[in-house]
Amino acid sequence: MGCFTFIKVMMILFNLAIFLSGGTLLGVGIWVTVDEKSFLDVFGALSSSVLHVVNVSYFLIVIGAILLVIGFLGCCSAQKESKCLLMVFFSVMLIIFIAEIAAAVVTLVYTNIAETLLKSVVTPLLQKKYGSDPILSENWNETMKELKCCGLNNYTDFTDSPWYKEHNGTFPSTCCKDLQPCTSVLAAQKNVTGCFRQIVQEIKTHGGVAGGVAAGIAALEVAAMVVSMYLYCQLDQK
């Protein structure tokens, strides 16, 4: 087996793995979207606080779809030995790589902007659905209990929520360190930290692992681009 054939086979296998991974993520994303409760029942231990705060179903669907396209494109370009498809594959991988670097820079440099955007989405959701949406309420209760936090920012996130109105203007007991009734005065005195800060702290605690995973993914992407360019250049010599 020549070097060209070996690289071609490895690229096909590599992209087949990407394609299958994308299909898996897409399936999980659709499952969470259609029946989140059963997903949490099965994978309760894996349902971390981040999953409770941010609905990742659409994120999984988007990432899964992208991986499906990349895997399919990579397999076809290698199998058909098409310079056009190889260049398209390289371009897509390059765009994704640059976008990931840009996202990492923005996350590190503009953390406050990311925090503001998240709060602008989650806080209105809590005020509108906490207490009326069983799944959202249960997820937030588990998150607050696990992290010993209150709301995304603090207890004021629950003001005018269905829970607040149904419980005579009081807040979840977690916001008062499990003391009841949790009034605004008591909640202000206890001053329980919002879950956003707790989640950020958890992410920082496991930052080394996350960084290692990100570096591994970046290395695979660079390898994929190098291999595609190698095959592209070798086709001129065939």
Average pLDDT rounded to a whole number, residues 114-134: 80
| Alpha-carbon gap, residue 214 to 232, rounded angstroms | 27
| Alpha-carbon gap, residue 141 to 13, rounded angstroms | 44
CB 231 within 8 A of CB 8: yes
Q: What is the sign, positive or negative, of the torsion defined by CA atoms of 89, 92, 98, 101?
A: negative
Least-confidence region, from 1-15, 108-122, 143-157, 220-234 = 108-122
Residues with Cβ within 8 Å of 68's Cβ and at least 6 positions away in sequence, in order, are 19, 22, 23, 26
pLDDT of residue 63: 82
| Alpha-carbon gap, residue 220 to 235, rounded angstroms | 23
Average pLDDT rounded to a whole number, residues 72-95: 87
Q: Going from the N-terminus, what domains does the chain have, and what CATH number goes with each?
A: 3-111+210-235 (no CATH), 124-199 (1.10.1450)
Type of residue at 132: S
pLDDT at 44 over 60: no
77-83 long-range CB contacts below 8 Å, 24 or more apart?
Answer: 77/228, 77/231, 78/8, 78/11, 78/12, 78/15, 78/231, 79/8, 79/12, 81/8, 81/231, 81/235, 81/238, 83/232, 83/235
CA-CA distances (angstroms) from residue 175 to 40, 100, 135, 149, 231? 24, 36, 19, 7, 59
| Alpha-carbon gap, residue 106 to 93, rounded angstroms | 20
User: Does residue 216 or residue 163 have the better pLDDT?
Assistant: 163
What band does 161 get if pLDDT is binned at 50, 70 and 90? very high
pLDDT of residue 41: 58
